[in-house]
Structure 1
Amino acid sequence: MGNIPGVSLLLLVVSLSIMTGSGVHGGKILVFPVDGSHWVNMNLLIQRLHARGHEVTVVRTATSWYIKEDAPHYSSITVTLPEAISIEEQDFFVTFLVKMLAIQKEGASVIGFMSFYWEMLTALSKIHQQASLLAVEMFENKTLMQSIRDTQFDLALIDPGLPVGVLVAHELKLPTVFNVRWITSAEGHFVVAPSPTSYVPTSGNAASDKMTFGERVKNVFLYVLNTCIDKFIVCPHYDRLVDRYFGPDVNFYHLLQGADIWLMRVDFVFEFPRPTLPNIVYIGGFQCKPSEPLSSELEDFVQSSGEHGVILMSLGTLVKGLPTEITSEIAAAFAQLPQKVIWRHAGERPNNLGNNTLLVKWMPQNDLLGHPKIKAFVAHGGTNGVYESIYHGVPIIGIPLLFDQFENVLRLEARGAAKVVDATKLTHQNFLEVIQEVLHDPSYRNNMKRLSALHRDQPMHPLEKALYWIEFVVRHKGASHLRTESYKMPWYVYHSVDVICVLIAVLLLLTAIVVGSIRFLCVRLCRRRKAKQE
């Protein structure tokens, strides 16, 4: 009995070993990011993975704008492509926005709209064609591929917006984790999870989950359209590579759907409820964090607002695509407010700018949103800005410009935390009215504060959740037990069409037997009666 303390110490050591045994030290992670705003999210993950002792290697192109070749928290593999991927050009989306605004404002003819839509699809096809060449350049470089094999990576972390990394991961036989919201031509759920069009708004449809009959008709149409775009515009570029390097037995879409873990940049505080799967992990708002002190110049400006507070405005780099007549209307509305305004503006200086408005090329958006003086946020509805607003409880005046921004601000508007303004119909008067409504109606701030409380009330921070599941895949060399194989089923099996047809056939057969039997009995009965009567 005198040895009990020693036994206790031994048990404690064993317990600690078990508890810490689940950790991962020095995992090797191969990253395939997408340039632009997507890189902001991926870079944050990479920084934290590096801080936890992992060795991270980023595959980039020689023309990458944001993804630098040299960084303290990752090494890089730089691939030179025959031509730059269009979205890596700094003003690609600005040029696209200018064309779209012109069509919307001038009320272009059906032919003009179709011409623009065809141009957009052509650009989409070209982007994926250019991106697919990354796989060609890597596969044809035998020295590079052998070097990557020799490194013995544990995991591929991929942004599947440009899914070329999926092909490389398959060649290297690496388990895959997606850092995802958008994938090929749709929102990620539509590729991997059941998505009933009766209440799940499809990508490109700014509708809530409570749709009228007309909205459901539109939803089905857009779902079919997105499916056709994916099948005939995007996937053919990758299908050709799969046929070339892996043969006819491998299906690109199955590779895409077969990721071990989907780190979905979504939170159901923001997203409408919908079906999901066990290998989808929700990390919406993982980039959010408490605010830090402002610089002395910004702090002095914010404090000078007194009791009225400050309005924050940022449309990202897309503001350069807004014509001066729109930005001047915005400036004129700001000039009539008692609040101070901090406006991140990179384009031509707008007219009608008031003394209460400070133009800046860059601003610490998260730190400002967390400041108690900020009363509202005028934003284009980008995902990062939306989640930072939710995190800090700041209501939004939305001016959506492109892509999912319309859907993002609609989701907040449906929850009473935002008000939307159409950029093509914006005047200083209607913009001023919307600002005053959001500022003076307490429901907007209260609703956003409620969303903030719900978003923060989680067992672990979304970033920690993302890191946990990445390390989980490294520890167990995949997560196939969480992944459904339903995507390999033919459509008629997935929807049980074959079962329904067999059941209908059996039912018809039984009905025919019953009817035939009754007729047979009736005929015999009639014959007997006639025989008796005779």
Structure 2
Amino acid sequence: MMPGKWALAILLTLLCWAGCGFCGKVLVWPCDMSHWLNMKCILEELIERGHEVTVLAPQRTVLIDYRKTSAMKFEVVHSTEDKNYLENSTNKFLDLVLNVLPPLPAWQSAVKLNYFFIELNGYFKLRCESVVYNQTLMRKLQETNYDILITDPVMPCGETTTLCETLGKADMWLIRTYWDFEYPQPYLPNFEFVGGLHCKPAKPLPKEMEEFVQSSGEDGVVVFSLGSTVPNLTEEKSNLIASALAQIPQKVLWRYEGKKPATLGANTQLYDWLPQNDLLGHPKTKAFITHGGINGIYEAIYHGVPMVGIPIFGDQSDNIAHMKAKGAALEVNFNTITSTDLLRALRAVINDPFYKENAMRLSRIHHDQPVKPLDRAVFWIEFVMRHKGAKHLRAAAYNLPWFQYHSLDVIGFLLACVTTAIFLVTKCCLFSCQKFGKTEKKKKRE
């Protein structure tokens, strides 16, 4: 018996050692808010596969909870900005997009938004300097010999190069969409589409929420969320929205942290937080009112739920435009929204089978993939780690100076050739004319 036990122990040891053959050290410089949710899914899967993950987390965060016990290691980065700066910037941005920009013409909105981001650059600069100029931290990171750096280009940090040069150094890009969302178009080999990697089958709802959903009967429910960035609205907008929701037979679950609207109907419940994925996967859910964030869009695609989009800023308008083109959504303008507009869009999306059928078609396309999005994301991260990069997938254009990239040197050479040819032809013509003129004068004299 003893030799058998020893053999088993040795076999288990070898299996454990073999299982960690490709395990590496991963350094992560993330972006907060909804971007972190996607990043977190990838990092948790990497940890499951035996990798060691270290996250550079700023001292003040919204969703990155480094205080919570986790298998991830966190390096908390202390910076010198005012402790209320992040909150003040968020509030200023919300006031800008909800109140200041809507009545302005497009060019004035662009100018004001540009000024805001110029101000925000100071914050990004401090965040970068708190890492790059921290010699103790940099020495520690260098000594650890990480195999890969995973970062979000929304918050780049490249002080000695341009933004384009910094982003161009990436070996692999993980794009948060897929062909259920995108239009056919050419992409480079180091682009991998992993949209919906965070989506999962629906879990049971909390008891009270489930009871409210079941009370809707055959009419079903509508899920409404404008995301974590916009927790409340002006009193005027919240009242007109609540008025529209009160006129539909469905029950409504609305994520909203503001003052209770005076026009709120008995069919509508307000919540500080919603288990959005689980609600969208519930069989009684008929429609999803969304601001058009890509995470919510993909949860709706995953579960085959038609949408009413109310985009507010950023890529949200483009996301909703994609869903409209696919026949799975209608759009309501946030700046000019009325109860009538919202009610008309809701009734169409709920009652017209066209939208549900298209949403289900997109869902079937999304689920019919040879490899799940999360597994693809992890594969390419491990691929880059195994091969110490993926330079063979990067286009040579990244190494060209800007004038060569835009073929300005070729255009300049061709222009020089054409100019030279025109010059020579012109000179020849002038010379011939002069000779011909002298000959004619000579004949006349004779």
Q: TM-score, normalised by structure 1?
A: 0.72
CA RMSD of the aligned region, Å?
3.2
**Structure 1 runs not aligned, ≥5 long:** 1-16, 168-237, 243-249
Match of 1:43 in 2: 40
Secondary structure at the counterpart of residue 49 of structure 1? helix
Return the match for 1:503 from 389, 398, 414: 414
Match of 1:233 in 2: none
The answer to whether structure 1 residue 126 and structure 2 residue 94 are counterparts is: no
Give deviations 1:431-477, integer Å, cap 9, x for gaps: 11111111122211112222222222221111100000000011111
Give deviations 1:206-244, integer Å, cap 9, x for gaps: xxxxxxxxxxxxxxxxxxxxxxxxxxxxxxxx2xxx2xx
The answer to whether structure 1 residue 151 and structure 2 residue 144 are counterparts is: yes
- Aligned AA for 2:81? E
The 10-residue stretch of structure 1 (350-359 or 46-55) with the greater mean CA deviation from structure 2: 350-359
Return the match for 2:325 from 408, 411, 414: 414
Match of 1:57 in 2: 54
Match of 2:217 in 1: 306
Distance 1:109 1:407, change over 3 A: closer
| 1:515-526 matched pairs, under 5 angstroms | none
- Aligned AA for 1:283? V
Distance 1:21 1:507, change over 3 A: farther
Q: In the alignment, is the contact (CA less than 8 A) between 1:319 and 1:347 conserved in 2?
A: no
Match of 2:309 in 1: 398
Secondary structure at the counterpart of residue 263 of structure 1? strand
The answer to whether structure 1 residue 162 and structure 2 residue 159 are counterparts is: no
- Aligned AA for 1:73? A
Shift of 1:516: 8.2
The answer to whether structure 1 residue 140 and structure 2 residue 117 are counterparts is: no
Q: In the alignment, is the contact (CA less than 8 A) between 1:29 and 1:57 conserved in 2?
A: yes
- Aligned AA for 2:152? D
Return the match for 1:28 from 16, 25, 30: 25
Secondary structure at the counterpart of residue 53 of structure 2? strand
Give deviations 1:349-403, integer Å, cap 9, x for gaps: 1121111112222221111111121110011111100111111111111111222
Distance 1:22 1:493, change over 3 A: farther
Match of 2:394 in 1: 483
- Aligned AA for 2:258? G
Q: In the alignment, is the contact (CA less than 8 A) between 1:396 and 1:418 conserved in 2?
A: yes
Shift of 1:65: 3.0
The 10-residue stretch of structure 1 (78-87 or 339-348) with the greater mean CA deviation from structure 2: 78-87
The answer to whether structure 1 residue 470 and structure 2 residue 374 are counterparts is: no
Hey, what's the Cα distance between the residues in 2 that align with 1:21 and 1:274?
A: 41
Distance 1:68 1:401, change over 3 A: same
Shift of 1:321: 4.0
Secondary structure at the counterpart of residue 41 of structure 1? helix
Hey, what's the Cα distance between the residues in 2 that align with 1:110 and 1:411?
A: 22
Give deviations 1:39-73, integer Å, cap 9, x for gaps: 11111111111111000011112222322234322
Hey, what's the Cα distance between the residues in 2 that align with 1:316 and 1:403?
A: 13
- Aligned AA for 1:141? Q
Distance 1:122 1:517, change over 3 A: closer
Q: In the alignment, is the contact (CA less than 8 A) between 1:59 and 1:78 conserved in 2?
A: yes
Match of 1:445 in 2: 356
- Aligned AA for 1:503? L
Percentage of identical aligned residues: 41
Distance 1:93 1:420, change over 3 A: farther
**Structure 2 runs not aligned, ≥5 long:** 1-14
Hey, what's the Cα distance between the residues in 1 that align with 2:372 and 2:83?
A: 34
Hey, what's the Cα distance between the residues in 2 that align with 1:502 and 1:369?
A: 59
Shift of 1:148: 2.0
Return the match for 1:423 from 334, 343, 357: 334
Hey, what's the Cα distance between the residues in 1 that align with 2:424 and 2:141?
A: 67
The 10-residue stretch of structure 1 (489-498 or 367-376) with the greater mean CA deviation from structure 2: 489-498
- Aligned AA for 1:147? K
- Aligned AA for 1:155? I
Q: In the alignment, is the contact (CA less than 8 A) between 2:231 and 2:255 conserved in 1?
A: no
Secondary structure at the counterpart of residue 503 of structure 1? helix
Shift of 1:274: 3.4
Q: TM-score, normalised by structure 2?
A: 0.85
- Aligned AA for 2:138? M
Secondary structure at the counterpart of residue 425 of structure 1? coil
Match of 1:78 in 2: 76
